[in-house]
Structure 1
Amino acid sequence: MAEFISEYYLAMLMVVSLLAGIFTGYPVAFLLGGLGIIFAFIGGIPVPFLATVGSRIYGGVVENWLMIAIPLFVFMGLMLESSGVARRLLLTLQRVFGRTPGGLAISVAILGVVMAASTGIIGASVVMLGLLALPVMVRQGYHPEMACGVIAASGTLGILIPPSIMLVLMGSILQVSVGGLFKAALIPGLLLGALYVAYLLIIARIKPHWAPLPDLDATDTDTSPLMLALARDLFGPCVLIFAVLGSIMAGIATPTEAAAIGALGSVILALLMRSISWNTLSKTVQETARTSAMILFVVIGATSFSVVFKRLGGDYMIEALITGTGLGPYGLLLLIMGLIFVLGFFLEWIEISFVVLPLVAPVVEILDFGLGLSSQAILIWFAILVAINLQTSFLTPPFGYALFYLKGITEGKIGIGTIYRSIIPFVLLQITGLALCIFFPAIALWLPGLLP
């Protein structure tokens, strides 16, 4: 053990410094880049080696064609948020499930799935669902834990259900097809949505006072036929989803080209809804630039950190720690999933993806799970498992961003303790979905095999 520490003490100190720096509240992008430079000098790494960091950033990030998809998908999500599509769809779904126990909560879960397949922006989804549904749920007498939990969990589905920015970045990191990742993530994402709905139905039956039935006569202001209203409000999002995902899965467009289709489609949809203005467009462009810049800076910082970390032997340290456990392939996979789950309490998905994935993926790729899969198929399966796992990072305290978004919406009317308790059953449901995908890989790999 002493020999292990003496050999890898700088790599371990680098990880400890990263965790300590995060708790100071210092911007993670600058923290990652700064630690990379500092430990390059502490470790006596030759200055010319740092030039390779710049080359890696330019060649792996700036020149990466896939990165163009990120601002386009962000723009699409933000434009849809302001189009009014979600509000109309929620009201129609409430009419559909109006006499079902927990109907409004189920409507929120279904809307979360639809908007996840249309936007993929977590902050926008949680805020949008919270502003639309939380006041109505509270007014109808929903228990705060049930209302907050379903809003936070449904809003985070966009990180998994394609088009997902996380999957775009994972495809770049792991050098696998983003289209393959989109296909693989679709069924697991829908599975999580189905688990949410099943849980809501059960709780509404067991605890009817948590989800009282609404007075439809007082809440229903839409007099159009129900099926016509449902078709009307679902048509726009479904066309956009089909245009983006359908073009990728059919091999007609690359993810970047499909993102451009989605961005243009969101503008057309907003025009048809008569909800676009110069002010709306300006704010959307500014927020797109801000979000994209944040992601890009974290990617640049993480690249600097990982290059120096590997030079200090960090990749060999991780490999030795993982393989030295004596566990079998599934035991190692569960260990990695547990590590990522714990890191999700403290790190964002971007840092985990760019720091952890390059270190553990080579180990996973060579493991024999007895499934007869190619290395590419194993990496796609592993990426989906990580994506499901990282979805919990938005919900787990102390740094679960969905919780803070929701707390800001409540304006102090709902305590943070209530919000923390509300996400416990949904985190357990996500872990259940993760376990199903681990032990039944076909859940993730069936669609990529069907549509190669």
Structure 2
Amino acid sequence: MSYELIAILMFSTMMVLLITGQRVYGAIGFVAVIFSLLLWGTGGSEMAFSASIKLMKWYPLLTLPMFIFMGYMLSESGIADDLYKMFHVMMGPVNGGLAIGTILLMVIISAMNGLSVAGMAIGASIALPELLRRGYNKVMVTGVIQAGSSLGILVPPSVVLVLYGMIARQPVGQLWLAGALPGLLMAALFILYIAVRCWITPEYGPALEREAREKLTAQDRLRFAVAGIIPLLIFAAMMGLFVTGKTSLVESSAVGALGAMLAALVRGRLTFKVLHETTQKTLGISCMFMWIILAALAFGAVFDGLGAVKAIEAFFVDRLELSPWEILILMQLSYLIMGMFLDDTAMLVIVAPLYIPLVRALGFDLVWYGVLYTITCQIAYMTPPFGYNLFLMRAMAPPQVSLMDIYRSVVPFVAVMILALVIVTIFPQIALWLPQLVYSR
């Protein structure tokens, strides 16, 4: 059997399995093991074992359960609620202030969890009912929560960038630092849009009523500020130790997990139920990502053995005569199209064996490309018909928010995300400046 036929059969078999509803890691791992036998004969039987040993030896993977544990501990113990109350008090007097505060909340939740689903759950359960009760436009605030929660896969400690780092064999610390400034840039653009929209149409985001503001005493404001600042202190200690070189990435993740537990203990919320729920969710998410990485490593090894990357590079560069930038744009467009039907991990595992070596061959920085990939995933999360965040919001939103409202709500925020993608593409130093600064010491 020719290598070209094996490659075609690999992709077609994998797509059939995914369409039939099989789990991503199961479909990809199955295809990798079966086709490794076709490529290497009986020697291919060791493929899964070799990939698992490589996974277990990857020391930065220890950060994954630590950061997930930290995020869920802060969420399950109600400390994230305190954070929203602080922003509620600070931003309430401004038109659109609660929506702006929600974006700030999402940035901080993202910096504590690394998953978009955590921000979506907190935003839909805490922020959305309050925003609707205050008379905010339901279409705008639905978009605010979806866009804000998508920052979880870009702002460090992004779990998606951990997965990318493992597959692309790039340092996770550099990837996280590379995602920091683009994530803040995108959050600032969201805030700018909300501020301008509510300035033009004040009824979209009415300010907190004077009576409600006057009911809050100085003691109440201080209490909310103290409660809300705890998560900020945890994040500052964790990232500060890492950036200054006092701790490694894994040690910083342990500081964050321990800090979240101590915060819950000090607040009197470290109950057995909270600990059980947090541990259970952490184990489930961590195991899922480890299986995905394991399947991706096996799949990538088979594809490397086929030499398919060189064939695709020759097709684009020699036969079609496309420039490196034109090829890069085509790759990003393909992610957007796939994102309408697949989640971020499925997209990465399916095309990583092709795109990552091709990006390296074209002379682009793989850390910078990881940020571009992640931003494109954020956009794909919010594009109909099957955007991941659209269905999460539909499941969590109250009855007065229809599916059509959810689809309409994402349009301006997707436009803002595309603008951010273009800016980071044109100016790579936005992503590369911080990791170069820290790692040049």
- Specify if TM > 0.5: yes
Secondary structure (helix, strand or coil) at the match of 1:117 reads: helix
* Higher deviation after alignment, 346-355 or 107-116: 346-355
* Higher deviation after alignment, 181-190 or 327-336: 327-336
2:424 pairs with 1:410: no
Q: Are the aligned partners of 2:83 and 2:229 in contact in 1 as well (CA < 8 Å)?
A: no
What is the total number of aligned residue pairs between the two structures?
437
Partner of 1:64: 58
- Map 1:271-290; keep pairs closer than 5 Å: 271-290=265-284
Match of 1:123 among 117, 126, 132: 117
Deviation at 1:253, TM superposition (A): 2.0
- Map 1:366-377; keep pairs closer than 5 Å: 366-368=361-363
2:234 pairs with 1:240: yes
Q: Are the aligned partners of 1:385 and 1:437 in contact in 2 as well (CA < 8 Å)?
A: yes
Structure 2 distance, partners of 1:309, 1:228, is: 58
2:429 pairs with 1:434: no
- Map 1:27-426; keep pairs closer than 5 Å: 27-40=23-36, 43=38, 45-59=40-54, 61-218=55-212, 222-224=216-218, 228-229=222-223, 231-323=225-317, 324-368=319-363, 378-426=365-413
Deviation at 1:317, TM superposition (A): 4.2
Deviation at 1:332, TM superposition (A): 1.9
Q: Deviations over 1:176-221 (max 9, x none)?
A: 2222222221111100000100011111122333223332524776
Q: Deviations over 1:13-40 (max 9, x none)?
A: 4223333332322211111122223444
Structure 2 distance, partners of 1:221, 1:265, is: 33
Structure 2 distance, partners of 1:293, 1:399, is: 25
Secondary structure (helix, strand or coil) at the match of 1:46 reads: helix
CA gap 1:102/1:64 in 2 versus in 1, 3 angstroms: same
Deviation at 1:442, TM superposition (A): 1.6
Structure 2 distance, partners of 1:243, 1:325, is: 51
Partner of 1:3: none
Deviation at 1:229, TM superposition (A): 5.0
Question: What root-mean-square deviation, in Å, do the aligned CA atoms of Structure 1 and Structure 2 show?
Answer: 2.3
Amino acid at match of 2:230: G
Structure 1 distance, partners of 2:220, 2:324, is: 52
2:26 pairs with 1:26: no
CA gap 1:220/1:304 in 2 versus in 1, 3 angstroms: farther
Structure 2 distance, partners of 1:24, 1:104, is: 42
**TM-score of the superposition, structure 2-length normalised?**
0.92
Q: Are the aligned partners of 2:28 and 2:299 in contact in 1 as well (CA < 8 Å)?
A: yes
Structure 2 distance, partners of 1:174, 1:216, is: 53
Unaligned stretches of 5+ residues in structure 1: 1-5, 370-377
Q: Are the aligned partners of 2:89 and 2:221 in contact in 1 as well (CA < 8 Å)?
A: no
Structure 2 distance, partners of 1:317, 1:411, is: 51
Structure 1 distance, partners of 2:400, 2:19, is: 27
**TM-score of the superposition, structure 1-length normalised?**
0.89
Deviation at 1:76, TM superposition (A): 0.6
CA gap 1:391/1:231 in 2 versus in 1, 3 angstroms: same
Unaligned stretches of 5+ residues in structure 2: none
Q: Are the aligned partners of 1:160 and 1:189 in contact in 2 as well (CA < 8 Å)?
A: yes
Q: Deviations over 1:205-246 (max 9, x none)?
A: 223332233325247764236874564244312221122212
Q: Are the aligned partners of 2:111 and 2:235 in contact in 1 as well (CA < 8 Å)?
A: yes
Identity percentage over the alignment? 33
Deviation at 1:69, TM superposition (A): 1.2
Q: Deviations over 1:268-305 (max 9, x none)?
A: 11112222201110111111111111111222222333
Deviation at 1:444, TM superposition (A): 1.1
CA gap 1:67/1:212 in 2 versus in 1, 3 angstroms: same
Q: Deviations over 1:418-450 (max 9, x none)?
A: 212211221221111111011011211222232
Q: Are the aligned partners of 1:109 and 1:150 in contact in 2 as well (CA < 8 Å)?
A: yes
